[in-house]
Amino acid sequence: MSSPAEPRIIFTPSGRRGRVPRGTTVLEAARMVGADLASLCGGRGICGRCQMTPVFGTFAKHGISVGPEALSEWSETESAYRRRRGLEPDRRLGCMAKVCGDLLVDVPPESQTHRQVVRKDVDVGKLRLDPVTTLHYVITPPSTLEEAAGDAQRLLRALAEQWGLTEVGVRAEMLGTLQEALREGRGKVTAAVRDGREVVAVWPGFSEVVLGVAVDVGSTTIAGHLADLTTGEILASEGLMNPQVRLGEDLMSRVSYAALNEDGGARLTSLVREAVNELCAGLVESAGAAPESVLEMVVVGNPIMHHLFLGLDVRPLGEAPFTLATDGPVEVSASRVGVDLADAARVYLLPCIAGHVGADAAGMILAERPYESEEITLLCDIGTNAEIVLGNSERLLAASSPTGPALEGAQISSGQRAAPGAIERVRIDPDTLEPRIRVIGIDPWSDEPGFSALEAETQVTGICGSGIIEALSELAAAGVITADGLIDGRAAERSRRVVETGRTFSYILWDQGSEVHVTQNDVRAVQLAKAALLAGARLLMDHLGTDHVDRIRLAGAFGSHLSASHSMALGLIPEISQEGASSAGNAAGTGALMTLLSGECRREIEQITERVEKIETAIEPRFQEHFVEAMSFPGARRSRDGEGRVNQRRSRRGTSRRTRERRR
């Protein structure tokens, strides 16, 4: 059978096709027709990233017939690769197999440069792997007396000739490493190229490891992922406490610390940097990797963490007009911010949106992509300040609302962080007013077998944010708390758990060993917090001109653990159908990971944040109105007074539908 001089080649799943000269390798053919076939070693049978599967048979649709003779014979290099690293029986190396006749080639996902990253543990959705830093193995010809050229110039020529990278330069800081790598590798080196513009690392010989770290610097915890930038694989995930906590529990107290103490800001900066450095070291160690392999880092955080990490003055963020040093994306060398990674490692910080709406909110927006749908989405990241984003493909609005520390368990009589011993779930029988609780670290509910034994070990130590939300919501539903937030003394007649304490009443949630009460002050603190959050959301709804939202996503450590139904019953968030509200997990961290794995995501969020309209709650008179209104507990069982007024207001908003808690 004679074969044409220029056989046809078709790549799936991309569908790219064309005619290529006989004898062209499949890798070259992929480049010629614009199909996506990976390679780190530049077609030398080393990296195995160009694996593909020839598909044999007659394909009427394409008008071709593919037989075994369509590819060159199995090569020595392929045998060597199979012995060394294994190769599935139907696979060939694209850089070795040559086109000899019409051909259909299937490119498996892991051989695609811009492959989709889909993972369960961190929901990055369908992400095209497109890291800012890429690896390129090159053979650099030696300099000779006859044709002398500098190391840098020879490397750049090799990158241009062997990889088509014509716009690259070499940082001066890299030259020493380059000298050494060329000598050790005898001209064979792997170069890491950033943005297609700059050689940022060079290793002798073939190397396929380039890693990145994505870190979410929260005011309480700092969490990060270590990822392989050539595969998108997450190699390790860890978290640690933000050591700044000892200088101030909440954000504003840290700003005060910076303002009132000489070098206070510097001290906060070195604390957070040390913690981030420790986190990175831990991630690298967990994965058994080398810090020098980590070339990329992404950081998200609220504006105060963002500024402290960068060593910037946070005092302007403590007072109106809350001026950021920059609201754009920031890039800085890792060493400059005290993180020990590769010499040339760069840290990318996502843009901040406003003085109270930080890079973490940008990360949340990217992770949730409300701008891709016509549905109106409300995103809330709840902490001392709630960062609230509302909108859809047409408009996006953002605000922050001063929720205060109550929702994180602070300023609550028995409040504590979400840690073992904290009550995190509460159900109260509306008739007997007897509670059932669930405690972090103890699997069964308090009325289930085994609880007592486990509680004896762990012991109930307090109540965390999600617990207090549920407790209040349940107490309101049971008629113990009135619509305007009073613990109704009349409930004391129904249960020994409602007790008078001075001029107000408390509810005894737990009294076996330790005591956890819900006091009138606790109710007031939560009332202020939830009113701030809801008022913020309503203000954005006003600005968007809508009286409903289609979807609510609760992000952050607190938000993710929140029961959506209790939150709505309490009036923490606008009421929508129960399915519409869900947890977004650590959306900020997910957004960080996305920008670590994809340069396209960086450009996307940079453009999106420029479009976000900032609403400043502090200067909006309507915020105060909404706030006052949002003080009420919509889920409160009818009680004689207060009821009418509240319902009247709420019906004006057209959101009088109640969502009843489905009992477990």
Contacts of 627 (CB under 8 A, 6+ apart): 531, 532, 535
The vertex-589 CA angle with 378 and 241, nearest 5°, equals 115
The least distance separating its own copies from the CB of residue 219, rounded to whole angstroms, comes to 21
> Looking only at Cα atoms, what is the longest distance across the chain?
103
Instruction: Check: CB of residue 40 under 8 Å from CB of residue 190.
Output: yes
Dihedral over Cα of 471, 477, 480, 482: its sign: positive
Closest CA to 66 of 100, 90, 39: 100
Min separation Cβ 159 and its own copies, Å = 14
Number of residues lying near its own copies (CB under 8 A): 45
Closest separation between CB of residue 323 and its own copies, Å?
4
**321: contact with its own copies by CB under 8 A:** yes
Q: Based on CB atoms, which residue is closest to its own copies, 71 or 330?
A: 330
Q: How far is CA 455 from the centre of its chain?
A: 34
The answer to the question of residue 389 lying near its own copies (CB under 8 A) is no
Indicate the pairing of strand 57-59 with strand 64-66. Answer: antiparallel
| Residue 270 interacts with its own copies (CB under 8 A): yes or no | no
Q: Which is nearer to its own copies, 367 or 399 (CB)?
A: 399
Using CB under 8 A as the binding rule, whether residue 298 contacts its own copies is answered as no
Which residue lies nearer to its own copies by CB, 179 or 458?
179
Nearest approach, Cβ of residue 320 and its own copies (Å): 6
- Sign of the dihedral defined by the CA atoms of residues 279, 281, 282, 286, in that order: positive
Interface with its own copies, residue 332, by CB under 8 A: yes
Is residue 153 involved in binding its own copies (CB under 8 A)?
Answer: yes
Of the candidate spans 159-167, 306-314, 394-402, 489-497, the one that interacts with its own copies by CB under 8 A turns out to be 306-314
Shortest distance (Å) from residue 648 CB to its own copies: 33
Residue 204 in the binding site for its own copies (CB under 8 A): no
| 3 state SS of 607 | helix
Min separation Cβ 168 and its own copies, Å: 12
Q: Which stretch binds its own copies (CB under 8 A): 238-246, 322-330, 374-382, 389-397?
A: 322-330
> Does 151 help bind its own copies (rule: CB under 8 A)?
yes
Is residue 81 within 8 Å of 48, Cβ to Cβ?
yes
User: Residue 327, interface with its own copies (CB under 8 A)?
Assistant: yes
Q: What is the 3-state secondary structure (H, E, C) of 490-519?
A: HHHHCCCCEEEECCEEEEEEECCCCCEEEC
CA dist., res. 375 & res. 81, Å (int): 50
Structure tokens at 229: 């930038």
Three-class DSSP category at 242: coil
Decide whether 311 or 479 has the Cβ nearer to its own copies.
Answer: 311
Residue 260 binds its own copies, judged by CB under 8 A = no
> Rounded to an integer, what distance in angstroms lies between the CA atom of residue 19 and that of residue 271?
60
CA distance 403 to 389: 15
CB of 355 to its own copies, least distance (A): 6
143 is a contact residue toward its own copies (CB under 8 A): yes
CA distance 385 to 503: 31
If one asks whether residue 206 binds its own copies (CB under 8 A), the answer comes out as no
Residues interacting with its own copies, by CB under 8 A?
A: 142-146, 148-153, 170, 172-173, 175-176, 178-180, 183, 310-313, 316, 320-328, 330-332, 336, 352, 354-355, 614, 616, 618-619
